[in-house]
A and B are shown apart, each in its own frame.
Chain A
Amino acid sequence: SQQGEEDPQALSIQEGENATMNCSYKTSINNLQWYRQNSGRGLVHLILIRSNEREKHSGRLRVTLDTSKKSSSLLITASRAADTASYFCATVPREDTDKLIFGTGTRLQVFP
């Protein structure tokens, strides 16, 4: 079974607005990663945050991690129509570091 659950399942916003997606997981982790998927095909890695980190930035992306709540959030600022995609969080469990366990994903639609 998948470890991560994400909310919302779907999000629609206007260009220029910020988009926030949340991810919860169940067991202790080594790190947490966010991926983007266009059109149901290959995924692209966005950002990795380690269990001892609390916040990380990459361009318009900001990721936070709260290990006490077993949750993470991905913020996309000043969204663009090209950001339209599905976004997945994925965790590397501390007790099973060979695996990358994916969440259910958030479908983001950015309207021009």
Chain B
Amino acid sequence: GAGVSQSPSNKVTEKGKDVELRCDPISGHTALYWYRQSLGQGLEFLIYFQGNSAPDKSGLPSDRFSAERTGGSVSTLTIQRTQQEDSAVYLCASGAVRQETQYFGPGTRLLVL
């Protein structure tokens, strides 16, 4: 598996429930990013991890959103008390060199009913 993987591919949940989205970056990549893409829109930056440094959380839209990266590899994005406006495709990307090419996973399509 050479690419970035994400799970689940699709998630349908009820308003108010919590969801966890997972990202497995390319092995050895120190940079990891989460984005959100609403239907027909561009990508909205959410959070960035670089090695063992404190993450850049400046893009998280509310305190219902959080993310962690364990052991500098796998990352989990958690959305608490989901709202309908959280429905979107959540994309993860990793990179070997900061500021340079990012490699994207296939995304998780989240639908909040």
Chain B residues within an 8 Å CB radius of A105: 41-42
Cα distance, A98 to B31, chains bound together (Å) = 9
| A64-102 interface bits toward B, Cβ cutoff 8 Å, 1 = contact, 0 = none | 000000000000000000000000101010000111111
In which size bucket is the chain B interface? 20 to 34
Q: Which residues of chain B in 76-113 are interfacial with respect to chain A, using CB atoms and an 8 Å cutoff?
A: 89, 91, 93, 98-107
Assess whether B104 is in contact with A43, with CB atoms less than 8 Å apart. yes
Contact with B along A16-46 (1 / 0, CB 8 A): 0000000000000011010100001111110
CB contacts under 8 Å to A, within B22-65, are 33, 35, 37, 39, 41-45, 48, 50, 56, 59
B42-A88 in contact (CB<8A): yes
Q: Given the complex, which residues of B lie within 8 Å of A40, measured CB to CB? A: 37, 39, 89, 107
Pair A30/B42 contact, Cβ less than 8 Å: no
Whether a CB of chain B sits under 8 angstroms from the CB of A52 is no
| A92 with B99: CB separation less than 8 A | yes
Residues of A within 8 A of B89 (CB): 40-41
With known contacts A98-B50, A100-B45, A43–B91 Cβ distance under 8 A: yes
Look across to chain B and name the residue whose beta carbon is closest to the beta carbon of A43: B104
**How long is the Cα–Cα vector from A27 to B34 in the complex, in angstroms?**
22
